[in-house]
Structures are given as structure tokens and as C-alpha cells.
Structure 1
Amino acid sequence: MLNRLIILAISAVIFGLLQMGGVVTVLSDKTMDNLFLQRGPVQPAQEIIIVGVDEESLAALGAWPFPRRFHAELLARLNKAKVIGFDFLFSEATDQDQLMEAALQTSPPVVLASARSYQHQVLNPTPILANSSSTGHIEIILGRDGVVRRAKTFINEKQLPLPAFALSMLQGAGLKTDLTASDKSILINYYGPENTFLYLSYVDVLRGDIPADFFKDRFILVGAQALGIGDSHITPFSKNRPTPGVEIQATIFNNILDNSHFRQLTLFSWMSIGTIVLLCIFVWPWMNEKSNLIINLTFVLLFTFISYSLFRLHIFLNPVPLIIFLTLTFLAHLAIERIWTARELLHELKRLDRQLATQLQQVYTNIPTQFFNLETVPSKSGIRQHISQLHASVNVMGLQHHFIENLLREELPPLILWDKTSGLVIIANTMFHTFWNRHFSGQGALPDLSHFLHLIEENHAQGEQTQFDFDTLLEGGQASPVDIGMTLLGRTRYYRVNMNPVEVANIEFNGVLAVVTDVTEIKELERLKDEIVSIVSHELKLPLTAILGYGEILTDSLQNSEKEYAKEICSQAMRLNRLIEDFLDITRLEHGSRQLKRFPMTLVKLVREATKAVSISAEKKAITIKQETPYQTTPLVGDFNLLLQALINLLDNAIKFSPENTQVTTSLVEETEQFIICVSDQGPGIPADSQEEIFNKFNRGQKTPEQDGFGLGLNFVKQVVEKHGGSISLISRTESGAKFCITLPKTQES
């Protein structure tokens, strides 16, 4: 709102200066002149006749001024007129004044002219003539350009208002007018250029060439018509020569006679200014420049049309102040808007510079100084400095662009991006072109999205159970990867296709990105792994079962040292069998062939069952197992057997690595969102350098001679816990043993 008031204040001040300097007045006068020209000439009153002292009269009667006996004779010729007005000054007495006075007393009403001298004294007719006639001043108002557009209605003569020449004629004719002494001036409504009124030559009337009845009940004005006399002025209609003063007086008389002089709508003009104020406050700030320009032009054209229409009805609605004030206000609006925009732009440039420097520091470890100087910050007037910094930033971005381009083309696997809506290819790197040309050379150009999905379904890898879920991708989710097999020259290569949605909010782009990874070697390793698992589960377990069976028979039948040998055979066979079972369990969990059997269960029971399972091992070492469990807990949905085996593994490890006559503690805590099961011992703990790898396969930490095992137990525990959406952590201090904590969420993804 403050800037709106500033705009209006600036416009008002400039408008006032233009008004004081006369610019508004000059333009208003020119506007009125143009309105006269657009309207054209109109017919004046036929009752008004001008008797002009023209060149012919001067040639016949002699030099000007004429003797007053001629005027007396002229009055006798005009004795049937309604009123007669002499547009001459009779301020100096002559020897023919009595002759003139006698004629005035017998003639119709006569009005003689008066005017102010250069010394501002009113030059009235001589007393002898004034006693027999009326007097009216003939003063008119010249504009700055010398054009007559206004006439004074009254002037002060000895503290009394002296009416205008036309008003005195009207009063002499016995007519009334609405004009009063408070009306200082009127706008003259011209009827056309010079000679618009009926002119008669002074000498022709004097000779009696014009019948007396022609002047009956008419308004007669007698004045100078010849240019040499010097009584002529410029009017809006003046073209070839100035208009005689007597015709201007006839025009004023005609205006007052039929009440056709121009009236001004001052109040309406101020209301129109108020409309501009409303536009400035409530319209322009919320519209764009083009719309504002259309509104302003429409407003100006409408106002101009109204002004022209009213002009024809003798009402002058001056459009110039409104147009000037509208122009000034709108220019001030544009200037203030530009200043505020520049201020905000500079503020935003500073913010962007700081943000750019921060982001570049986050992206680049070191930026070459020839590209960008982070210490250079634009000053308040540093637009050029900002542009220079912006160019430097472009160079840095170019470096990043080349880096990313090289990464896309040469380093990354095949990539292709489609527009989700149209399915058209947006971009594909060189590796995708190579992949496409190698396996689909007969397909032609790069595939659109639907074609590529069709190819995935056709080349779905044999034995692959995962199906591509395009509906999830359309909804903005991430689809599961799909493996496809492509045969080329008798050899099959496998590719894993990952498709992800790509959304760019600031440009409203929704796309789909596909990443094609060669997994042939991984598939080969998986095949070898499956073969190993098959060998372990069939080729090793069968003879191992036989060895264990025969070993138990021998143990029962042999004595002494032979029996000990047989027991050792059985012990090692059982140890190897346990290794195979753990290995197969982990493999089944990793491959997903061992599905979780989810049922509600009570973790209190789980802890008790696990404790019971390791109680014999604990008794052999005189280890006490302490249970810290609540009376009851909320049921947990999960695989009871797998979790039981995982907890047994933790307890078994705690017993195995704890000294004799110590304590192993099992605790169960229920929280709002999860359960926490902890197993702690009083053993030697796990060194810090071994804690990160303790959950890896075949990792046993620091093995001591009396502690056997293969390092698969903790990896199995981790696999089971993660299958349930949980996690396992280790808290170990060498002076107080190890503590393993299992966290199981109450809500798990199926």
C-alpha cells in the first residue's frame, strides 16, 4: 500500500508542476481546438447581422475613424432593429457628438463599447453619448497561443460590475440571461471560421441600399471588418485570416442569446481522477502490464468519446487533465514496479550467489579458481559483478556437465529415460545404444516405453519368478527388478532391468528411467552356488549319515581305546553335520526358498524354550541362566521356530565363550512399537576391531583352542532377524563381556 501512495504522490506533484507551467492549459486549449474542427461549423442565429466597416467602406468614406455623423445616419437606416451595438470606442469627444446624441435618442436601443486602457483604466463613451445609450465592455481573454477562447462576463468599473457588450445588448433587447456577476468568464462556442455570420457593408447600409424592413426585429452589431483597422483575432476556426472582433462579439451574443456557450463539468473531472486513484490501488498491482495498458486505453477512449459527445451538446469535459494524470500515474507505477523488482532481483541475486557458492562447495571438493571465486560477493550495486560470477558459475556447471556426460556415456550401465505420458524416449546413453544394437538390431530406432515393456515380457529369464509390475510404476512407486535372458551367437546373457519413476517438480516432468545391468556372471555364480548346495545336501549328507550310523554302532560294540576312537568319529561327524545344516539354513533364507511361517506367538514362551534348550550345556559349566521377562507380552506375528533357533544360537555362543561359574542373562522388554531381546554374558567380550565383522559368515572373532564352531551362528541370527524386519546390535566391553540385542518391530511388512 505504501508504494501505491508513493505513486499517487509523485503523480500529483508532477501534475501540479505541469499545471503551474501551463502545459495542462496549452494541451487543453489544443484539445478544444481539435474538438471544434471535428465538430465542424454550425449555423448561427439568423437574427444577428453584422454591419462591417470593410475595405469598400474605407475607400468610399475615407480613413478610419469615420466622422460620427456617418454613425448617426447609419442609426437612421437601422431604426427598425431590435437592438444595435457599436463595437467602437467613443471615449473621445468630437464636435459631432450632439448630432450622434440626437440620433441615439430616436433610434432603437443602442449599446456602445468600453474597454480598459494599457493603464487599466476603463475607457467609457463620452458622457453625452453615454446618457443616451447603454455600455458594455468588449474585453476578451487571449490564450497563451494568442487564440481567443474565453470572454469576460463582467469587469469592475468604480466598484460596480460592468457587463459584457453582449450582455448589454441582450438587456437592451429586453431579454434575460442566467449569467450573473459571479460568472467571471464563459467558454466561447464558435460557430465556424470568419464570415460565418451575415455580413453587410457599412457603406451599403449607409447609402440605403438595404431596405429598412430587412433589419426589422434583428440584432445589429456594427464593427470593423477591414484588417487594416486592426480589430481582429485568432480563433480555433481561423484558417486564412484572423476573425474580426465584431464577429467574436456576435458569437458571444449568440451564445448568451440561445444559452449555447460551453459549460464545464468540473465535478465529473475530479471524479474521473478518483477513478485513476482506484485503478492505481486496486487494479494495476494485480494485473500484468499488457492488461493494464488495455484497461487504460479503453478508459481513455471511452472518456474521449464522452467528451466529444458532450461537446456537441455545448458541454466541455476536458479530457487532458485525466489523460495527463493517468499517464503520469501509470508511468510512476511502472517506474516504482521496476524499482521494487530491481530491489527484489538484487536481493534474490545475492541469495542465489550465496546458495550457489554453498551448493558448489557441497558438490565439488576443490573448485579451480579460474572457474569460480567463492569469496567474490556482489555489492549492492554489483549487477555486473554478479553477471561475471554467473558466467563463472556457468563454467563450473559446464565442468560438472562434462563430468556427468562422460559418466552417463562411458561409466554407467545402459540407461534410458522416457516421458511417462507419451512414452517417447527423452535420453539414452551410449551404453544403451550399444545394448540395443547388439540384441535388437532388427528393431530399428530406440523403443518407446510400451515397446520396451513388451520386450521385457518376451525375454523374461527362464526360471525367474519375479514379474514386472507396471501398475506400481504408473502410481509413482518403484517396480521390482526383472531379469531377462538374451541369446546371441548361441550364448545366453542375462540382464537385470530396474525401472524407477522420475519426477521433476519445477518443470512438471514425469518420466520412467530404466537401468539395464549385465548380471550374467552373477547368474553363473548363482548356478554354481546352487550346484554346491545340491552337492552338500545330497552328496555329503548321505555318506555322512552312514558314517554317523556306523560310528554309533561301533561305539556300542567296542571297548577301551577303540570305543574312544569310535566316539571321536561320531563327534566329528555330528560337528560336520551341524555345519552343513547351518550352511543350508542360511542359504535357504538368503535365496528365499525358506519362507517365514508367520503366526502369533508369545516372546516370553520363546525365551523360556530357548533357555530350556541350552540348560544342559550351561549345567556342564556351572553357568546360571537368568531370565528377566515380564509376566506377559503382546503377541508377535512371526516364525517361532526360526526365532527360537536364532535365540538358541545367541545363548549357545554366550555359554560357549563364558568362563565356568558365571551368569548369562536373557532379558525381554516390550516398548510401544517394538520388542527388545538381549543376551549378555560375563565372558572376555569381543575386541573393537572384530565387532564390525562378527556377523559375517565363517567369522569367529578371536578363536581359542577350547572353543569350536564355524562362524555361521551369528550370521544365521542376523538373517532371521532381518527377515522379521528387525535388527541386531552388539554392545561389548572386554572387562564385562558381550551383550547382543535383538530389536523386533511389532508391525512388519509381509
Structure 2
Amino acid sequence: MFSKARLKLTAWYLVIIMSVSLLFSAVIYRSVDIELSRIERRQQVRIERFRQELFRLPDFPDMFVEVPVTEIRRRLIAALTFINSGILIISGGAGFFLAGRTLKPIEDMVNEQNRFIADASHEFRTPLTSLKSQTEVSLRDKKLTLSQAKEMLASNLEEADNLQAISDRLLELAQIEKPNYFVFKAVDIKSAVNSALSKVRPLAKQKSITVASQIKSRIMEGDGKSLTEMLVIFLDNAIKYSRENTSVNLTGKISGQSQVLVISDQGSGISKEDLPHIFERFYRGDKSRSASGYGLGLSIAKKIIDAHHGTVEVASKKNQGTTFTVRLPLKQSVSFI
């Protein structure tokens, strides 16, 4: 699809460039031709006057005047043809290159949307298939007891909760990508951290994991709600993939004009093969498949960081743990209310 679009865009580039080039060539040729005609007429007038003054002067052949002018016209046409041919070749190559550069972001966006739709369909299909199969089995079972029916309904309710969780994450991801979603204002980073800690501590308590925080109060520009959500995602992941009776640490410091947040755990780590893909939608490494989740959390966190013009780095060792380092500017480049 994009190959044809690239060729069409290149053709339009050529049409526009060559139209301008031929128009300028026509103007140049017309201007030079008018000037040559004027020179030719002046020469003819001078020769006629010269003949009248010298009656015995033999007639000058017409080619004495016309040949040089005709030669100049022919050379001008040849030069303009050569120049336009060169422009056609160069602009064709340049147009093809620029068309590719122009369409590349659109192609990437369309490919990402296609992958997103395919992955979302797959994630929805799994719980839907489970719901359908369990219901069909129960309907065919003529000896289904009340306890078995309740067990089946409880399982279906769990799958329905999974579907709702996926749809909520997808809606959140769609909202984040809207241009006016984030409202930047003065935020105390410690307040955002405390809000995030209060949300993840119940999960940490279930696994006997200690969540330690060393964050000083600091005012920065940002969207408080989304910053809390970002921290919840990182802390939730750290707790999920950490072994029991371990610790998760959250520290912060000021580096230049940036607030640095470091989240480290003592979990199973991330393989080198998975590291480049962890922020992709629905991506889950081999270790991640044993834990609950849908591969959307880190993608949302990355969107929040990007919206704050920040960066995130990941360092991980297998069976030793993972460290996320988030850098957020204290002041945004855009004005806020």
C-alpha cells in the first residue's frame, strides 16, 4: 500500500517541480527571444542605413544577421532542455527519497495501530474463549449440581473482570494519547509517591515484601494524577516479579534541572532479548507470563514519561533484579496554569 503511495507522491512532486521548471524555462526563453529579436531588428536597421549612405556597397546576405541569432536560439533551447532533463532526474530521485521520509511516520503509525488491533483482539479472545467453553460444558452437563454451577459462575465472573481490566487499560491508553489529557501544574513529588505507595502496599503485604521510600518533598511541574499512576505501574511490576520476603526500593534525587526517581527490586530480572520490547503494548516476556497482567502497564508509564518530556532507563540482571531510572524535568517547556 505504501509503496504505491510513495510512487504517487513522487509523481506529484515531479509534476509540481517540472511545471515550475518548465514555466521558468518558457519565461527565460521568451525573454531571451524578445531581446534577440530586438537586436536583430536594430542590426537590420543599421545595415539599411549603411546601404543608403554607401549606394555602391554590395548587398549583404541575410545569413550575415540571421545565422548568429538562430544559432543562439538553438543553443538556448538545447541548454534549457539539458537543464530540465537534469532537474527531472535529480528531482525524481530526491522526490522518491522525500516521499519515503514523509510517509515513514504514517506507515509506522498504521503498522502500530494494526499491531495494536491484532494484539488487543488476541487478549480479548482468550477470556472470551474461556467464558464460552466453560458455559458450553456446563450446559451439556445434565448432572450439573448447584455447587458446580456456582463454581462455573465464579470462574466466568473472574474472566469478566479480566475483560473489564483489559478494556479499562485500553481506555486509559487511548485517553493518555489525547493532546489535552495532561494538566501541568505545581506538584509535590513526595505527595505523588505517597499516593502510589498507599495503592501498592496491600499487594506487597500479601507477598511479605518491604517497600522502602526515600523521597524528599520537591515541587515540580507535572500532572499529579498521571505521575502517581506511573509510579504505581513501576512499583506494582516490581512487587509482582519479586520473590517473597524481599524488598522494593524507591529513591529520588535532584540532578541538574531534573527529578530523578529510581525504582529497584530483587526479582527475577529481565532477559536481554526482552529489554528492548518491554515498553511495547501487550508485550510480555517469558517470566511475565506467569504473573497477572496484560502487557499494557509499562506502555502507559512510558507515555506518561514522554508527555512530561522525561526519559526512562532500565538495567536488569537475571535472578538479581531490575532497576528503572526515571528522569523528569522540574520545569516543562510549555506554560501551564
Q: TM-score, normalised by structure 1?
A: 0.28
- Return the alpha-carbon distance in structure 1 between the equivalents of residues 151 and 247 of structure 2: 32
Counterpart amino acid of residue 613 in structure 1: K
Q: CA deviation at 1:707?
A: 0.9
Distance change (3 Å), C-alpha of 1:442 and 1:735: closer
Matched AA of 1:618: A
Q: Match of 1:584?
A: 171
CA spacing shift, 1:715–1:527, aligned 2, 3 Å: closer
Task: For residues 204-245 of structure 1, give each alpha carbon's deviation from its aligned partner in whole angstroms, at most 9, with x where no partner exists.
Answer: xxxxxxxxxxxxxxxxxxxxxxxxxxxxxxxxxxxxxxxxxx
CA–CA separation in structure 2 for the residues paired with 1:669 and 1:525: 36
2:23 equivalent to 1:445: yes
Shift of 1:431: 7.2
Distance 1:445 1:645 in 2: 59
| Cα displacement string for residues 545-597 of structure 1 (whole angstroms, at most 9, x for unaligned residues) | xx9xxxxxxxxxx963333322222222222222223233334434x345311
Deviations 1:508-532 (A, max 9, x none): xxxxxxx5666499489759959x9
| Greater fraction of residues in helix | 2
AA partner of residue 234 (structure 2): L
Secondary structure at 1:445 match in 2: helix
More strand as a share of residues? 1
Do 1:654 and 1:683's aligned partners in 2 also have CA atoms closer than 8 Å?
A: yes
Listed as ranges, the gaps of 5+ residues in structure 1 are 1-409, 415-429, 447-514, 548-557
Compared CA separation, residues 653 and 525, structure 1 to 2 (3 A) = closer
TM-score scaled by length of structure 2: 0.59
Measured against aligned partners, the alpha-carbon deviations of 1:127-161 in whole angstroms (never above 9, x if no partner) come to xxxxxxxxxxxxxxxxxxxxxxxxxxxxxxxxxxx
Gap change, CA 1:527 and 1:718, over 3 Å in 2: closer
CA–CA distance in structure 1, aligned partners of residues 298 and 151 of structure 2? 32
- How far did residue 735 of structure 1 move? 4.1
Higher normalized contact order (CA 8 Å, seq sep 6+, divided by chain length): 2
Contact kept, 8 Å, 1:627 with 1:665, in 2: the verdict is yes
Letter in 1 for 2:173: I
Looking at structure 2, the residues matched to 694 and 607 of structure 1 have their Cα atoms a distance apart, in angstroms, of 23
State the one-letter code of the partner of 2:310: G
- State the number of aligned residues: 231
The secondary structure found in structure 2 opposite 1:731 is strand
Matched, 1:675 2:253: no
Mapping of 1:602-641 within 5 angstroms? 602-630=188-216, 632-633=217-218, 635-641=219-225
Pair member with larger Rg: 1
Paired letter, 1:566 = L
Shift of 1:731: 1.5
Task: Show the 5 A alignment for 1:444-523.
Answer: 445=23, 519=103, 522=106
- 2:242 equivalent among 658, 664, 667: 658
Contact 1:588 1:594 in 2 (8 A): no
What is the match of residue 432 of structure 1?
Answer: 13
**Are positions 1:570 and 2:157 aligned together?**
yes
How has the CA–CA distance of structure 1 residues 747 and 520 changed in structure 2, closer, same or farther, with 3 Å as cutoff? closer
How many Å apart are 1:678 and its aligned residue?
1.4
Distance 2:223 2:210 in 1: 28
Q: Structure 1: how far apart are the matches of 2:159 and 2:209?
A: 25
What's the C-alpha RMSD, in Å, of the aligned pairs?
Answer: 3.8
Deviation at 1:710, TM superposition (A): 1.9
Deviation at 1:684, TM superposition (A): 1.0
The percentage of aligned residue pairs carrying the same residue is 25
Change (3 A) 1:629 1:576: same
Distance 1:681 1:527 in 2: 34
| CA distance in 2: counterparts of 1:700 and 1:674, whole angstroms | 30
Displacement of 1:601 in angstroms is: 0.8
User: Match of 2:44?
Assistant: none
Q: Secondary structure at the match of 2:328?
A: strand
Distance 1:727 1:444 in 2: 50
Structure 2 vs 1, CA of residues 524 and 603 (structure 1 numbering), >3 Å: closer, same or farther? Answer: closer
SS state at 1:622 partner: coil
User: C-alpha distance in 1, partners of 2:249/2:259?
Assistant: 16
Instruction: State the distance in 2 between where 1:639 and 1:665 align.
Output: 23
- 1:690 Cα offset (Å): 1.9
Task: Give me the whole-angstrom Cα distance separating, in 2, the residues matched to 1:528 and 1:445.
Answer: 42
Give how far 1:642 is off: 1.2
